[in-house]
């Protein structure tokens, strides 16, 4: 295996996740984004291995790294390659005491130059979490219309120069198709006037890289259905914990949770509910939680993290 053996990712909100899941000896758990296995290890350690943990990731390298890290727990851990958007099919007929999603990409994926997530390194512009599926970021930028690219830059990163960046991408690709990370960095550099750049906003290409990554991996649109499916995979009282890293992701999770707590579709002024759709979850108090100062000092990458938690209600 390649760079996965050097996998490094500090699990964010580790203690808060354990508190939210309150793992029970003998329980069955799903880590739907196992990454380097940091949260998975914490859960196994908290229960001294007295549980079954299903560990899923769409990135085969991440899964291999998690497999190595969790090896000592033997049969307590079952690794699965796949997308949590497909959890309903992958775990058909199963029920879990707790499910964790830690959304987005890991530090390792961002830092592994060859994966094409980083604007710091020149590498093929790939950005797929699962390199066995879908199209690369270069292919996406070379084939999408100007409006689609503009919209992705707005929607997935609030990029205020979205239209200008998209226009330049189309001009540049007409001369030479996009191939590497630095092609995208150059497009952003030409689009955003130097005079308006602010130091506190970080690298000028940061937002464009985030938006293209989210588009290529289709990270937002399937969240609503995926959370609905995952709630149906919980035992009564079981908890679904989701860590998000930016407002677009967080809004999608919050909206999905609100709908699952109140799925009723009757008109607001209807005297009684006739649609029959009952709440599937409750939302425990005290969430969302953010990292404390100690965690932020030790791991600045945790600064935008938020933990949301839902609890499966006891009927159906």
Beta bridge partners of 275: none
Q: How far is CA 171 from the centre of its chain?
A: 32
Q: Is 84 in the site for ligand SAM (CB under 6 A)?
A: yes
Nearest to 51 by CA among 80, 21, 13: 21
Q: How far is the CB of 224 from ligand SAM (least distance, A)?
A: 13
Minimum Å gap between C-beta 56 and ligand SAM is 6
Contact criterion met (CB below 8 Å) for 282 and 302: no
- Candidate residues 85, 128, 207, 312; the one interacting with ligand SAM per rule CB under 6 A: 85
11 in contact with ligand SAM (CB under 6 A): yes
Interface with ligand SAM (CB under 6 A), residue total 21
Stretch that binds ligand SAM, among 101-109, 273-281, 287-295, 306-314 (CB under 6 A): 101-109
The binder of ligand SAM chosen from 18, 33, 204, 208 (CB under 6 A):
33
Residue 38 or residue 204: which is nearer to ligand SAM going by CB? Answer: 38
- Is 8 exposed, middle or buried (CB count within 10 Å of its CB: 0-12, 13-18, 19+)? exposed
Q: Give least dist CB 116 to ligand SAM, A.
A: 14
Separation CA 215–CA 210 (nearest Å) = 9
Per-residue string for binding with ligand SAM, 102-141, x by CB under 6 A? x-xxx----------------------x------------
| Closer CB to ligand SAM, 32 or 204, in the complex | 32
- Specify the residue, 157 or 217, whose C-beta has the smaller distance to ligand SAM: 217
Q: Which two tokens stand for residue 133?
A: 């599926």
* Residue 104 or 116 having the CB closest to ligand SAM: 104
Among 62, 138, 169, 252, binds ligand SAM (CB under 6 A): 62
Residue with tokens 């500090």: 10
Q: Decide whether 62 or 231 has the Cβ nearer to ligand SAM.
A: 62
CA-to-CA distance for 77 and 54, rounded, in angstroms? 6
Those residues whose C-beta lies under 8 Å from the C-beta of residue 76, and which sit 6 or more positions away, are 44, 49, 51, 52, 53
Burial class (CB in 10 A: 0-12, 13-18, 19+), 152: buried
Tell me which stretch binds ligand SAM (CB under 6 A): 33-41, 115-123, 233-241, 293-301: 33-41
Query: Of residues 29, 30, 39, 233, which one binds ligand SAM by CB under 6 A?
Result: 39
Dihedral through CA 174, CA 176, CA 179, CA 182, nearest 10?
Answer: -100
Please report whether residue 59 would count as binding ligand SAM according to CB under 6 A: yes
Query: Alpha helices of 158-205 — where are they, by DSSP H?
Result: 162-175, 181-191
Q: How many CB atoms lie within 10 A of CB 111?
A: 18
Binding site for ligand SAM (CB under 6 A): 9, 11, 33, 35-39, 56-59, 62, 83-85, 102, 104-106, 129
């Amino acid at each position: 295996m390649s760079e996965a053996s050097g996998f490094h990712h500090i699990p964010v909100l580790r203690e808060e996740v354990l508190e939210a899941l309150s793992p029970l000896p003998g329980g069955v758990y799903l880590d739907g984004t196992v990454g380097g296995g940091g949260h998975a290890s914490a859960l196994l350690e908290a229960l001294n291995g007295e549980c079954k943990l299903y560990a899923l990731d769409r990135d085969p390298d991440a899964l291999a790294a998690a497999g190595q890290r969790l090896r000592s727990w033997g049969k307590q851990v079952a690794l699965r390659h796949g997308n949590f958007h497909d959890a309903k099919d992958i775990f058909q007929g199963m029920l879990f005491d707790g499910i964790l999603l830690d959304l987005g990409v890991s530090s390792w994926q961002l830092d592994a130059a060859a994966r094409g997530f980083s604007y710091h390194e020149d590498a093929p512009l790939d950005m797929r979490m699962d390199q066995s599926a879908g199209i690369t970021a270069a292919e996406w930028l070379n084939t999408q219309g100007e409006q689609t690219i503009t919209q992705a830059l707005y929607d997935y990163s609030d990029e205020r120069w979205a239209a200008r960046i998209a226009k330049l991408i189309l001009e540049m690709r007409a001369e030479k198709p996009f191939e590497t990370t630095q092609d995208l960095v150059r497009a952003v550099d030409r689009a955003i006037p130097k005079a308006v750049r602010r130091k506190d906003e970080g690298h000028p290409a940061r937002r464009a890289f985030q938006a293209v990554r989210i588009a290529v991996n289709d990270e937002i649109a399937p969240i609503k259905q995926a959370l609905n499916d995952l709630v149906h995979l919980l035992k009564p009282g079981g908890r679904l914990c989701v860590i998000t890293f930016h407002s677009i992701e967080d809004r999608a999770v919050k909206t999905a949770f609100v709908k699952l707590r109140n799925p009723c579709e009757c008109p607001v002024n209807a005297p009684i509910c006739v649609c029959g759709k009952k709440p599937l979850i409750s939302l425990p108090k005290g969430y969302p939680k953010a990292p404390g100062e100690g965690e932020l000092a030790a791991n600045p990458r945790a600064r935008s993290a938020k933990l949301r938690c839902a609890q499966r209600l006891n009927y159906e």
